Amino acid sequence: MIKNDIALEIEKYSDFNRAKSLLIVDAILSNLKKSLDNDEKIEIRGFASFRVVPKKSGFGRDIRKKKQIRIKKGKRIKFRSGQDLKNI
C-alpha cells in the first residue's frame, strides 16, 4: 500500500481529483511530522500511537571496515500498535 492508495480512499468520499486528494494526504502527513518535530505524541485510539523518545544507542557498525562506529545521540520515533492492530 502506498500514498496513492490513501488518496483513492479520499476520492471515495468526495468529488476531489487525484491531485487534490494527494494534496490533502501530504498536508496530513506534514502535520503528523510537525507534531513529532515538536516532541508531541500522536495517539489514534484503536490504531496506534507514536512518541518521540531519546536515542541512547552509542554504537553502530561500519559493514565495510567491520568496525564499531560511534553514533551521535538524538531522538527516535517509538511506534506502538493499538488494540485493533495487536492481533492480526
Q: Which residues bind a copy of itself (CB under 8 A)?
A: 1-3, 5-6, 9-10, 12-14, 16, 20, 23-24, 27-29, 31-33, 35-37, 40-48, 52, 74-77, 79, 81, 84-85, 87-88
Cβ neighbours for 84, distance < 8 A, ≥ 6 positions apart: 46, 47
* Closer Cβ to a copy of itself, 15 or 66, answer by number: 15
Site string for DNA, 23-62 (x = CB under 7 A): ---x--------------x-xxxxxxx-x-x-xxxxxxxx
Per DSSP, the residues of 5-59 read: HHHHHHHHTS---HHHHHHHHHHHHHHHHHHHHTT--EEETTTEEEEEEEE---E
Element housing 80 (H / E):
strand 74-81
Question: Out of a copy of itself, DNA, none, which partner does residue 62 contact, by CB within 5 to 8 A per kind?
Answer: DNA
Does 22 bind DNA (CB under 7 A)? Our answer is yes
